[in-house]
Amino acid sequence: MTPPAAEDNVEESLSLLSDRTESTLALGEWIGREAVGGEVLALIGPLGAGKTRFVQGLAKGLEVSERYINSPTFILLQCYEGRLPLYHIDLYRLEKAVELEALGLEEFIWGEGVAAVEWADKGPDLFPSARLTITFEYAGEEQRELRLHAAGARYTQWLHRIRETRRWKILDGTK
pLDDT digits (tens, 9 = 90+) for 85-144: 999 988 887 766 555 666 667 778 878 899 999 999 988 778 899 999 999 999 988 899
Q: In 18-55, which positions are buried (b, 16+ CB within 10 angstroms) versus exposed (e)?
A: beeeebbbbbbbbbbeebeeebbbbbbbeeebbbbbbb
The whole-number pLDDT of residue 29 equals: 96
Query: What superfamily in CATH does domain 9-172 come from?
Result: P-loop containing nucleotide triphosphate hydrolases (3.40.50.300)
Q: What is the dihedral of CA 121, 162, 85, 143, to 10 degrees?
A: 50
Q: Where are the domains of the chain?
A: 9-172
The whole-number pLDDT of residue 80 equals: 93
pLDDT digits (tens, 9 = 90+) for 5-37: 545 678 999 999 998 788 999 999 999 999 999
Decide: pTM greater than 0.75. yes
Q: What angle do CA 153, 45, 5 make, to 5 degrees?
A: 20
